[in-house]
Structure 1
């Protein structure tokens, strides 16, 4: 049975993203609370939740009480802890992306974690970012903790490269134009050099994977491969995240393992 992860802040890679502009705070915070429970998979008290999500304790208490009243959380009065109810598990049960039918994507992630000991991430494109929508934490001794919901630059990260590799060059150019326009408007970051990026993406398409070290996180590495894109479906990428020096030494082994596992779960690859 996989060990449930408890947060160790000093080892976490990728800070929990702030709520995007335009999001109603109370709605966003409710979802952050549910996502946090999905990460830790155990009961938690109001102090822990308010600290990890950087919310005022009074606001956190009010939100938790509301979720209890609506039947989405269970409150243990003796332990003073909260836990999601079965009602949460039924939310979205009718939404079935083809890659999740039968749990194939999650089974693939489980096997990758068991065979490599590394953290396994599932990423999608979110605007000009690659976002980790699901994370299985590493079980090996040499490991980094990865934050679910973390954002990575679409044009400057391993998961981003893998996502962009599924798109035609014309679409990539449009995305780079948007990235550069937003960066100029915000007065931040160096512009993305499209003519440098496109050959990198061609290498990813040819090899079937993106491998980056120390690109976003100093000392961190990611090996990422795209999953089959279904008709009308959103592109998904699975990646192994770990320590740069360890992954560089294991690169050949990790690539072979990922190819073996993905081909077993996704014969279309």
Structure 2
């Protein structure tokens, strides 16, 4: 079996990769575009795209014969962010931060023992912090992951570090439990966490937490860029990030409270 599908359902992996390609490219794609990018057989891609169109998750443009994600796909899973308009609110937040700072804006979520980048906006600078959606880092080994760990107690965090080394034997952490706990303590105290080449040499991030109103869930959001450009304006970047994140959380909490109030204290289902 191809190592890319080891232990996974091949068709499911292909669907995910097609969706991730659209997220990365953010434009209409032809069958050949997808084949070239993913290195999959054209017959398989054609059948897969036809199925996704029939199920309502992609649309096909008649004039160009290219494909785009449908409105249906855009709404799948949006409820997980809690308040109505949560997805639109996050997009506005990221766009505003990108325009104000000119640096990469990163959004991450916990994925087991890892932190997964779920969305990002690249910096317009030629020298920039560049990642791809769905890329992962050890949750304790990056700034955004450290912020996500602030929601756990020290005993839980220690267990996660130990379990990571057991589960990911090919890429063990080079950080001790004590170092991880020290980083988390700093992040708890400050409400943000800054890195100076923690993951990539000469690259830094400034991260904070986005608490979501649904079931105590949270995302991490950060600004990233070359240290040479970040360091002279860290205080300014930090202030913008924290102010905008705080405003977003307050708006989401207010919207969630209004929704419960309007439904008489319970969610109305139709």
Residues 177 and 94 of structure 1: CA distance in aligned 2, closer, same or farther (over 3 Å)? closer
Q: Note if 1:239 corresponds to 2:225.
A: no
Secondary structure of 1:167's counterpart equals coil
Report the counterpart of residue 162 of structure 1 in structure 2.
147
Residues 52 and 212 of structure 1: CA distance in aligned 2, closer, same or farther (over 3 Å)? farther
Residues 27 and 265 of structure 1: CA distance in aligned 2, closer, same or farther (over 3 Å)? same
- Equivalent position to 1:213, from 190, 196, 220: 196
Describe the superposition over 1:193-248 as per-residue Cα deviations: whole angstroms up to 9, x where unpaired.
10121111111111111111322223322211012254623221111121222112
Structure 1 segments (4+ residues) deviating >6 Å: none
Give distance in 2, aligned partners of 1:247 and 1:256: 13
**After alignment, is 150-159 or 23-32 more displaced?**
23-32
Secondary structure of 1:106's counterpart equals helix
Residues 113 and 77 of structure 1: CA distance in aligned 2, closer, same or farther (over 3 Å)? same
Q: Is the 8 A contact 2:97 2:105 kept in 1?
A: yes
- Equivalent position to 2:45, from 60, 67, 88: 60
- 1:36 to partner: Cα distance: 2.1
Secondary structure of 2:230's counterpart equals helix
Q: Note if 1:196 corresponds to 2:179.
A: yes
Give distance in 1, aligned partners of 2:94 and 2:21: 19
Secondary structure of 1:218's counterpart equals coil
Describe the superposition over 1:86-105 as per-residue Cα deviations: whole angstroms up to 9, x where unpaired.
33234345555249537333
Report the counterpart of residue 60 of structure 2 in structure 1.
75
**Higher fraction of helix:** 2
1:80-159 matched pairs, under 5 angstroms: 80-92=65-77, 94-98=79-83, 101=86, 103-159=88-144
Give distance in 2, aligned partners of 1:138 and 1:99: 29
Structure 1: runs of 5+ lacking an equivalent: 1-17
Q: Note if 1:180 corresponds to 2:165.
A: yes
Q: TM-score, normalised by structure 2?
A: 0.81
Larger Rg: 2
**After alignment, is 108-117 or 53-62 more displaced?**
53-62
**After alignment, is 88-97 or 53-62 more displaced?**
88-97
Q: TM-score, normalised by structure 1?
A: 0.81
Describe the superposition over 1:87-127 as per-residue Cα deviations: whole angstroms up to 9, x where unpaired.
32343455552495373333222211111111211111101
- 1:132 to partner: Cα distance: 0.9
Root-mean-square deviation (Å): 2.7
Describe the superposition over 1:173-203 as per-residue Cα deviations: whole angstroms up to 9, x where unpaired.
11112112224xx354355410121111111
Residues 100 and 196 of structure 1: CA distance in aligned 2, closer, same or farther (over 3 Å)? farther
